[in-house]
Amino acid sequence: MTLKPTITPGTSAAAIAPGPHLADGRGELSDAVIEALTSGAPPVYALGTVLKADPWGEDLQLALYLLYEPHYRGFEGVDDAREWDPDLLRLRRALEDRFLHALRTELSDGPRSVEEAFAPLLVEPVDLSDSLSHHLETEGELWQLREYAALRSLYHLKEADPHVWVIPRLTGRAKAAMAAIEYDEFGAGHADRIHARLFADLMSDLGLEPAYGHYVEQAPAPLLATVNLMSLFGLHRALRGALVGHFACVEVTSSPGSRRLANAMRRCGAGPAAEHFYAEHVEADAVHEQVVRHEVIAGLLTDEPGLEPDVAFGCTATVFLEDRLATHIRTAWTQGASALRTPLPSHDTTA
């Protein structure tokens, strides 16, 4: 017997959030999720499909993304009560297990200590030929900046949101420092300075649609995986160490890349808001890097030293998926193709 959430009669309509539209399915699993979300019925799928699904593939990654979004803004026409629907959660857990097993298998020989995981990230590489931000800074074209922003919007329009979930799971130094960084991420009390709002302004400068979740239809699996990773870590207390590792990795690597992307926006004449978003991150994330390493990680491991391998895993998993995404983008651009599933209209200012 499957228990269903109890909804008080007459309140269901008010519980439907004006979120983004659902994307079209990309296979049996994502089709099942979409049908379940729209119909209110349990998802219909074969267990064998989950067990055989490509953990990096379009179908599984989109299905996971769709199952995570009810914990954020939801979807237009989908009842908010589906967030904790046990049938959807059961499928989500099966897909998470497939994804997480693939990550742990790929990184089975990865670092187990924080020092080993983060040491390569603290030194600027001499050879930047494989760096996506370096390419955009030195030779990237405006259409590539627009594609990059459309892809990254699925992350940046929820920037710092999943990391908030770790705060109740921390204590002492780690909790205080994490709350301080998140306060900055959310504009330090000023709505117009929230980093997600700054990225929406960047998108407007580039003639893109700044609405939350607008580009999920065009987002390929390598991009969805980077967004799903932080949702996976954020929604599980057991993965709190990995979430801290993910957050620290982002903060440590952000400042140099942001400097290059600010230069790219300036060189291509993308607009003041486009340049400002990355310029803001150069200084802010340089400070955040120190706080997250010396207070959040150090405080967490003082309280829970057994979580060090998880922190290292969160960092290396982030680097692994970011490298996969960069390879996908560079391969497409080298071939003169779009990195999106369907190209952006060249001159449509609403994209």
Residue entry with tokens 């990309």 = 26
**Could you tell me if 154 and 228 are in contact, meaning their C-beta atoms sit under 8 angstroms apart?**
no
This prediction's pTM: 0.92
More confident residue, 83 or 286: 83
What is the average pLDDT across 143-161? 96
What residue type is 231 in one-letter code? S
Band of the pLDDT at 346, cuts 50, 70, 90? confident
> Considering only CA atoms, which of 17, 220, 14, 263 is closest in space to residue 128?
263
Give residue-wise pLDDT tens across range 3-49.
444 443 334 444 444 689 999 999 999 999 999 999 999 999 999 99
What is the average pLDDT across 245-270? 93
DSSP 160-188: THHHHTTGGG--HHHHHHHHHHHHHHTGG
Band of the pLDDT at 282, cuts 50, 70, 90? confident
Give residue-wise pLDDT tens across range 93-134.
999 999 999 999 999 999 999 999 999 998 877 567 778 999
For 190, phi then psi, to 5°, come to -115, 115
**pLDDT given at position 331:** 96
**pLDDT given at position 18:** 67
**pLDDT given at position 128:** 74
Residue 254 has pLDDT above 80, yes or no: yes
**pLDDT given at position 276:** 92
Residue 336 has pLDDT above 50, yes or no: yes
From residue 234, alpha-carbon distances to 63, 130, 132, 166, 168 in Å are 17, 30, 27, 7, 11
Band of the pLDDT at 348, cuts 50, 70, 90? very low
**pLDDT given at position 2:** 41
Average pLDDT of the chain, as a whole number: 92
Share of the chain above pLDDT 70, in %: 93
For the chain, domains (ranges, CATH) are 16-106 (no CATH), 114-334 (1.20.910.10)
- Counting every residue written for the chain, the total comes to 351
Give residue-wise pLDDT tens across range 197-251.
999 999 999 999 999 999 999 999 999 999 999 999 999 999 999 999 999 999 9
Residue 299 has pLDDT above 90, yes or no: yes
What is the average pLDDT across 260-281? 93
